[in-house]
Structure 1
């Protein structure tokens, strides 16, 4: 979630908003330090974990809407104070913003787009981190499954490149974490960041093969997934082998895609299955250390 971009747009459209941030988390708590929620008169974006804690934070934030810039600190023991079973303790910063904050928030929104940065003086005694990059996910194909997958990935902490050589295939609006790419799909493959994950579901098997070949040859891409059946996989394996792609990379190709146990071929069901698989792959890469995995692969 691009926090400052959301705040700037809210101020431009509505004149006021509030930001709820988890600034300290102890014990078993719903969300980690740095989790945030932007609250407006029309709703909210993000979450600090749901349940009674979030409901109370929303009420406090809504009370600050339309008021001058101010910060309220709220510390809650989830069990004794709220009756939640987690048992931890959370400190929240609840801030209001008005039109006078617009220039500052626009500057912070611009910094956020450039990459990670920290603020140490905005809230006394609190170091804030913004602009963190999520796992780079490349989705090739803007057909029914591609569109459904993009919607499934919209609330997740991924930085998504959505590539399709047909500009007219894209919808008029895209989620905040998605960048459309209508040029040569192989250029999108070449621009993949370290530890990226690529899932291929284009409108053409020939294009699928071309993208899969390029993605498997790109050592920065940790996992490559391809929509299709076991028969399609067998054909692609043979052609990729003939083209000289490393056997280890071919054997690591994910095809069919999605987690087990879901048989539905409805695009939205496939998207849910693939999104769950992406979360699993991302967490495994993070736990193993993406840089170490890539270095080991290159050495081999």
Structure 2
């Protein structure tokens, strides 16, 4: 969950008190990784997850009890998942449960502003009063000798989506809860829905091709406009930018072959063309309904996001990743 401090601030302002349950360390197999968090409201509502099952149920119970007691020291606990909770994972999880009220508002607002601006790290450790003390780390800071380093803010992979038609809308909805930062592009302002997902920024562009030039390095591109000539122009521009990730194009194998022929005639190299993924979508499902295509394309984007992390550590390359996505037919 990315919006931890924003949710805490909203909850304190609305209900006067909020609780935060965090996974701060994991050993062995566990439902979630360190950094998984859950914000609980006094009215019982919550955001996020620490992994589900008995661990989450127990942590929510502890957070409710902490809210009932009011703002106080953080509660640290070590959970042997098998012996204590009967979970088959078998690992151990260390958690913190914290409470916040109006006395913490300045701190919550400061962290919420940092969270809205992007990613940031803090050094966190229990203070003398038992509450967790956090210090924002700069890029030059080393990890502290005591306590833990926590990461907050947006870690979404950038995606450029060209087209606000039926499939474009369905894909934007499918990506809304997922770790992506979406730039949604169309020349037709009236095609965008009234409500835009929080992780999406709309760009109404007379010439959508120009938006390709502003894409950050590593961005993924999905092309599904209302016009085949525009599809070709956007796809060509994206493939020319060798520092971008794979370029997905909605369409059939026939459309792919025709586009490849024209792009070769335009001088694109085989290495650039190898990044083209058409048809789009993870394999295994053949439905052509917009929601089905969107679901399978969202799964494919998650695969690309994981691959980008492996590539950063020398464990994969985009040619293999793009080649794995050519089995669907739309």
> Structure 2 length normalisation: TM-score?
0.82
Provide the rounded CA distance (Å) in 1 between the counterparts of 2:164 and 2:313.
28
Indicate the SS of the match to 1:75. Answer: strand
Aligned position for 2:326? none
For residue 16 of structure 2, what is the aligned residue in structure 1? 15
Contact 1:219/1:294 (8 A) holds in 2:
no
1:245 aligns with 2:268: yes
Partner Cα distance (2:278, 2:97) in 1: 46
The range that moved more, 207-216 or 80-89, is 207-216
Which secondary structure does the structure 1 equivalent of 2:182 belong to? strand
Structure 1: distance between partners of 2:22 and 2:189:
38
Report the 3-state secondary structure (helix = DSSP H, G, I; strand = E; otherwise coil) of the residue aligned with 1:191: coil
1:224-268 superposed Cα distances (whole Å, 9 cap, x missing partner): 000111121122112222222222222331000011221111111
Aligned positions of 1:111-126 closer than 5 A: 111-121=114-124, 123=132, 125-126=147-148
Query: What runs of 5+ residues in structure 2 fail to find an aligned partner?
Result: 126-131, 134-146, 320-330
Secondary structure of the equivalent of 1:86? coil
Corresponding residue number in structure 1 for 2:47:
45
Distance 2:217 2:115 in 1: 20
CA distance 1:81–1:129, change in 2 (3 Å): same
How many Å separate the matches in 1 of 2:306 and 2:278? Answer: 20
Q: 2:213 aligns with which of 170, 190, 200?
A: 190
Given the superposition, is the C-alpha separation of residues 187 and 44 from structure 1 closer, same or farther in structure 2, using an over 3 Å criterion?
Answer: farther
The CA deviation string for residues 65-104 of structure 1, in whole angstroms up to 9 with x for no partner, is 3622542212211100000000000011111222332332
Match of 2:172 among 132, 143, 150: 150
Superposition RMSD in Å: 2.4
Structure 1 stretches of 4+ moved >4 Å: 290-296
TM-score by length of 1: 0.89
Stretches of structure 1 that go unaligned for 5 or more consecutive residues are none
Aligned residues: 296
8 Å CA contact 2:157–2:179 kept in 1: the answer is yes
Structure 1 counterpart SS, 2:242: coil
Could you list the per-position Cα deviations for residues 6-62 of structure 1 after superposition, in whole angstroms to 9, with x for gaps in the alignment?
A: 222333333332211110111101111111122223522221111111111122223
Matched residues in 2 for 1:33 and 1:218: separation? 36
